[in-house]
Amino acid sequence: MSLSDTHITLAHGNGGRFMRELIDEIFARHLANPELDVRADAVTLPLNYDTEREDLLFTTDGFTVQPLEFPGGDIGSLAVHGTCNDLAVAGAMPRYLSLNAFIEEGLEVAVLERIVQSLAQAARDLGVRVAAGDTKVLRRGEGGGLYLATTGVGTKPKSVQLGMHCIQAGDTVLVSGSIGDHGIAVMLAREQFGLSGDLQSDAASVLPLTQAAVQVDGLRFMRDPTRGGLAAVTHEIIQATGLGVRLMQGSIPVRDPVTSVCEQLGYDPYYLASEGRVVAVVAPERAADVLAAWRSLAEGEDAAEVGTIEATASHGVVLETELGGERILEELEDDPLPRIC
Amino acid sequence: MSLSDTHITLAHGNGGRFMRELIDEIFARHLANPELDVRADAVTLPLNYDTEREDLLFTTDGFTVQPLEFPGGDIGSLAVHGTCNDLAVAGAMPRYLSLNAFIEEGLEVAVLERIVQSLAQAARDLGVRVAAGDTKVLRRGEGGGLYLATTGVGTKPKSVQLGMHCIQAGDTVLVSGSIGDHGIAVMLAREQFGLSGDLQSDAASVLPLTQAAVQVDGLRFMRDPTRGGLAAVTHEIIQATGLGVRLMQGSIPVRDPVTSVCEQLGYDPYYLASEGRVVAVVAPERAADVLAAWRSLAEGEDAAEVGTIEATASHGVVLETELGGERILEELEDDPLPRIC
């Protein structure tokens, strides 16, 4: 038995020779970088940041997407993008990641290797290094194939001050592109409900978008609308600020395949996950600057102004329909699409 | 449905109200600290370390122990001790943790809360803060109850230089206490093989032991013997250094219940996991100093000198029996106890 094996076995998790081979031949080989030392208990991060002018930022995320590979991405690239995006929307540059893999007995080694390669490529593209990792093997029937967790360390200029506490009535709400592509692409990849299609997930790094936006004074807050989508982000703004949010349905970019699936299944695109979009709140007089910066990037060509922050709180997000009516987007309760990220 | 619910449902993972309640009422309430902001994408770590004199250390570990609660600990305290111990044996002070929880649908909320409370208490006792977290809910049958992952950030004086590359022929191998208690305690808690008993796991922070040891010049290397036990640690030394390791069977502290279970099941205690012990390699003339420092601590009262580093490499670890014979401890291949940590 070795990695000439085609499938993961419990022995790949036991601290002995097979685990060492799994780590060396799959993880260390593809993720190789000067900091990663798979024999060390802990590694030194040579961050060399200016502690007077920069802050150290920290975040973590878990990934359980099913299927593990989907049009436009896989759980590996998603585990890099998801965590680095959380640093990016906080205004930081991602620097280092840790990686935990919970691998189910029986997973094909070839699938695991493709996913680790994709993860390594996503990290290289972002200039981020996986400096620490751990693998556990779960018994067949206890794992769902593969779960990943990544923790990210980044640095941010102290001069960049973003947060919900910066949001003011009258501010403008922007999105960097169409919403819900990730949720529907993953759903279609499952071939549930007899539906299929070739919609690509939007899963990607948002770092070019966030780094462009932080150049603009008047940027208040950014977030990537993952679980719970645009509705969840705007609900959190209401809860944190006591202000209201009004969204203009006609301005929110939604791709035709997303609209079509939503109509067939009764889903609401505002609750669907994106994995490569940014929602930003900007002072109204500077919104056009962020929009122009985003539209000049490939990642932001469909960016749009989609709503405003209102002084009056309501119990939900107000969605103004194209005919001038109003709907309230309630906070999400049931779960249309589990294991979406 | 809410946390007046007694069991976790998929809606506790969907980004909406139930997830917010789960995070607020279970995680944020028990883990509360100034850095943790469950509404933020990423948080600032106010490390305030001296970048001239200190290094930033980074490590991660995943936890899948079954049962989730066992005599002497649970998966929550283990998730703190395991990762902080990896920083500690590298000579660092643990400072911050991130926490990922993969929770299976159907887990009792009361069990989850006990585990999070235990995790929070372990962190407080160590002076470590959980600054970032994420939860995912797995469908029933895809999760094994609860998996945790923790990533740790610590600081270490640059003057402390430890590592396998420091090990020299003639050095002394020490252990800080009896080996295999964790492995056998967890096994007995499963009530497999018709065996039961009240052995306590050794799971604990090793920070007092490691901080005492780093005071001694001549300390070369430390590691906590988790998966694969003392045998795995000594094998890694052989592989990394090209030197040999000779262990003296009669000197290795093994508790009676561990010996007894090992005899009944044909296990070898040298391969069993400990979760609160340290294996150290020390220059021979300073070994007595580390031993004395350890024995003065409650955690190290059974510390012992157990072997030596030899100039001649062998393909395995040499175990000298009490009758003067020799056995070779091969590298672990099969897995006697899966989901032990």
Are the beta carbons of B87 and A41 separated by less than 8 Å?
Answer: yes
Interface residue of B23, B58, B153, B236 to substitute, partner A, most A CBs within 10 Å: B58
What integer pLDDT is reported at residue A336 of this predicted model?
64
Q: Quick check: B132 pLDDT over 50?
A: yes
Q: Does the CB of B134 have a partner CB in chain A at under 8 Å?
A: yes
Note every long-range contact of A320-326, with CB atoms under 8 Å and residues 24 or more positions apart, other chains counting: A320/A246, A320/A247, A320/A248, A320/A249, A321/A249, A321/A250, A322/A249, A322/A250
Q: For the residues B186-205, what does the mean pLDDT come to? A: 86
Average pLDDT of chain B is 93
| Residue B253 to residue B307: CA distance in whole angstroms | 12
**Is the pLDDT higher at A335 or at B195?**
B195
Q: Does residue A155 have a pLDDT over 80?
A: yes
- Give how far Cα A259 sits from Cα of A27, A184, A253, A269, B178, Å: 39, 10, 10, 7, 63
In tens, the pLDDT along A242-282 reads 999 999 999 999 999 999 999 998 889 999 999 999 999 99
Q: What is the CATH number of domain B164-329?
A: 3.90.650.10
The radius of gyration of chain A's CA atoms, rounded to the nearest angstrom, is 21
CB contact under 8 A, B15 and A228: yes
pLDDT at B313: 81
Residues of A in contact with B50 (CB under 8 A): none
With CA atoms as reference, the chain A residue closest to B86 would be A41
What is the Cα–Cα distance from A288 to B200, expressed in whole angstroms?
A: 64
Mean per-residue pLDDT for A187-197? 80
| Closest CA in chain A for residue B52 | A48
Residue B40: partners with Cβ closer than 8 Å, 6 or more residues away: A90, A163
Distance from CA of B336 to the nearest CA of A (A): 8
Q: What are phi and psi of B204, to 5 degrees?
A: -170, 170
DSSP A142: S
**Band of the pLDDT at B336, cuts 50, 70, 90?**
low
* A43 SS3 class: strand
Q: Are A293 and A205 in contact (CB under 8 A)?
A: no
Percentages helix, strand, coil for chain A (3-state, rounded to 5) are 35, 25, 40
Cα–Cα dist B160/B157, whole Å? 6
Distance of alpha carbon B272 from alpha carbon B249, whole angstroms:
15
DSSP state of A55: E
Contact (CB, 8 A) for A329 and A234 = yes
Q: What residues in A contact B13, CB-CB < 8 Å?
A: 227, 335, 338
Cβ <8 Å between A229 and B15: yes
| Residue of A131, A136, A335 lying closest to B14 (CB–CB) | A335
Handedness of CA B237, B239, B241, B245 (dihedral sign): positive
Measuring CA to CA, how many Å separate A165 from each of A60, A279, A312?
Answer: 22, 16, 16
- Rounded to two decimals, what is the model's pTM? 0.95
Which of B16, B41, B55 has the CB atom closest to A223's CB atom? B41
DSSP B137-204: EEPTTSSSSEEEEEEEEEEEETT---SGGG--TT-EEEESS-SSHHHHHHHHHTTGGG----PPP---
**Partner-chain contact A45 B64, CB within 8 Å:** no
Partner B contacted by A228 (CB < 8 A): yes
- Whether A331 has a pLDDT exceeding 90, the answer reads no
Looking up tokens 């100034």, which residue turns up?
B34
How far is it, in rounded angstroms, from Cα B312 to Cα B314? 7
| Cβ distance of A42 and B147 shorter than 8 Å | no
Q: How far apart are CA A82 and CA A150, in angstroms?
A: 9
SS3 state at A269: helix
Give the length of chain A.
341
Rounded to the nearest integer, the mean pLDDT of chain A is: 93
- Which pLDDT belongs to residue A49? 86
The pLDDT, as a whole number, for residue B148 is 98
CB B200 within 8 Å of CB B70: no
Quote the minimal CA–CA distance from A21 to chain B in Å. Answer: 11
Rounded alpha-carbon distances, angstroms, from residue A244 to A172, A237, A316, A330, B21: 12, 8, 8, 13, 21
The span from the CA of B232 to the CA of B179, in Å, is 13
CB proximity B318 to A under 8 Å? no
Question: Which residues 67-96 of B are in CB contact (within 8 Å) with A?
Answer: 86-87, 89-90, 92, 96
Share of chain B above pLDDT 90, in %: 79
Q: In chain A, which residues have their Cβ closer than 8 Å to the Cβ of B132?
A: 58-60, 151
Cα A84 to chain center, whole Å?
8
Set of chain B residues whose Cβ sits within 8 Å of the Cβ of A236: 39
Return the percentage of chain A with pLDDT > 90, whole number: 79
Retrieve residue B330's tokens.
Answer: 């091969």
SS3 B334: coil
Question: Contact B57/A64, CB-based, under 8 Å?
Answer: no
Closest residue of B to A227, CA-based?
A: B15
3-state secondary structure of B326: strand
Least Cα distance to A19 among B183, B331, B288, B175 occurs for: B331
Q: What is the pLDDT of residue B335?
A: 64
b (16+ CB within 10 A) / e for A312-334: eeeebbbbbeeeeeeeebebbee
Short-list B261, B271, B263, B202, CA closest to B230: B271
> What angle, rounded to 10 degrees, do the helices at A109-126 and A75-89 form?
30
Q: Using a CB–CB cutoff of 8 Å, tell me whether A233 touches chain B.
A: no
C-alpha A74/C-alpha A77 separation (Å) is 6
Chain region(s) in chain A for CATH 3.30.1330.10:
10-157
Q: Chain B within 8 Å of A267 (Cβ-Cβ)?
A: no
Nearest to A45 among B10, B18, B58 (CB): B58
What is the pLDDT, as a whole number, of residue B152? 98
Q: Is-contact B328 B319, C-beta < 8 A?
A: yes
Closest CA to B261 of B191, B327, B339, B338: B191
Distance from CA of B18 to the nearest CA of A (A): 7
Give the distance from residue A232's alpha carbon to the nearest chain B alpha carbon, in angstroms: 7
**Residue B33 DSSP label:** -
Write down how long chain B is. Answer: 341
Per-residue confidence at B27, pLDDT binned at 50, 70, 90? very high
Of the candidates B166, B333, B320, the residue with the CA atom closest to the CA atom of residue B245? B320
Minimal-distance CA residue of chain A relative to B337:
A14
pLDDT(A170) > 90: yes
What are residue A181's phi and psi, to 5 degrees?
Answer: -60, -40
Tell me if residue A220 falls in helix, strand or coil.
strand
DSSP 8-state class, residue B298: G
Does position B4 have pLDDT exceeding 80, yes or no? no
B240 has a chain A CB within 8 A of its CB: yes
Residue A38 has pLDDT above 90, yes or no: no
Q: Quick one: average pLDDT of B105-133? A: 97
A194 pLDDT tier (thresholds 50, 70, 90) = confident
Between CA B332 and CA B327 the distance in angstroms is 15
Smallest Cα distance from B121 to chain A, Å: 21
Is B58 within 8 Å of B91 (Cβ atoms)?
Answer: no
Query: What sign does the dihedral B104-B108-B110-B115 (CA atoms) show?
Result: negative
pLDDT of residue B1: 39
Handedness of CA A18, A24, A25, A28 (dihedral sign): positive
Distance CA B257, CA B209 (A): 24
What tokens appear for A88 in the block? 């990016």
Would an 8 Å CB–CB cutoff place A114 in contact with chain B?
no
Question: What pLDDT band is residue B18 in, cutting at 50, 70 and 90?
Answer: confident
What pairs with residue A319 in β-bridges? Answer: A247, A327
Report the pLDDT averaged over residues B256-285. Answer: 95
Higher-scoring residue by pLDDT: A151, B39? A151
The pLDDT, as a whole number, for residue B240 is 93
Query: Touching check for B58 and chain A: CB below 8 Å?
Result: yes
Residues 176-205 of B with CB under 8 A from A: none
Res. A298 pLDDT band, cuts 50 70 90 = very high
- Does the beta-carbon distance from B59 to A139 stay under 8 Å? no
**CATH 3.90.650.10: which residues of chain A?**
164-329
The answer on pLDDT for A333 being more than 90 is: no
**Given CB atoms, is A7 within the 8 Å cutoff of chain B?**
no
Q: What is the architecture, at CATH level 2, of domain B10-157?
A: 2-Layer Sandwich (3.30)
CA dist B208 and B298 (Å) reads 9
